[in-house]
Amino acid sequence: MTKLTRREGLAALGAVVASVATGADATTAASKAAAAFDQSNIKWNSLPGLDHLWYHVLNVDHDLQVVDVLFKFSANQKIALHRHHADYSTFILQGELRIYDAEGALTEIRPTASYVKKPGGGAPHTEGGGDVDCIGWFSNKVTNGIIYEILGPNDETLATFGLPEFEALMNAQEDPVQPFIPG
């Protein structure tokens, strides 16, 4: 059984009460509240111009050319049009990740606990959270030096992110919470 802190318990109870008060089924509301991912120890960061998206870089491994990052997507919003250049895998920790094509049509929904492994080089797309903020772990395997290419309205490149950019972001962010050894 998972132990909740007093704050987590009160927050979950408040979410259930608010959901039921607005007409939701109590069992469904309680299940959703219990399934929320505790992000209280994550130090979220954002970048100007990339609305509805927060990140926390977990690791940049130059030898393996891998970048691991947590992304948080706003509920019912879309992030900037972009393309993945690196092979990647995702694991959704909270909510659902919705994928949209360049024209805005919904093409895929990745629910909580879904794992996807994809090659880089796919079509430009946007993505965002479902009815709650989505939190996902992304592991990117660099194939050509670029991981993400941010695109403008005419498919022009506005920015690119690779190992050096993610390393700079990681070095600039607040240190993550560290494990401790009791005793």
Q: What is the reported pLDDT for 5?
A: 44
Name the residue ranges covered by the structural domains of the chain. 1-36, 53-172
The pLDDT, as a whole number, for residue 142 is 83
pLDDT of residue 109: 98
H or E element that contains 78: none
Determine the pLDDT at residue 183. Answer: 86
Name the residue with tokens 């309205």.
153
Q: Please say whether the beta carbons of 111 and 69 come within 8 A.
A: no
User: According to the CATH classification, is domain 53-172 in 3.40.50.970?
Assistant: no
Four-residue CA torsion sign, 102, 49, 137, 38 = negative
pLDDT in tens, the chain (183 residues): 344 444 444 444 444 444 544 555 555 554 555 457 899 999 999 999 899 999 999 999 999 999 999 999 999 999 999 999 999 999 999 999 999 999 999 999 999 999 999 999 999 999 999 999 999 999 999 867 899 999 998 999 999 999 999 999 999 999 888 888 998
The residues, ordered by sequence, that sit 6+ positions from 178 with a Cβ below 8 Å of its Cβ are none
> Which DSSP state fits 65?
T
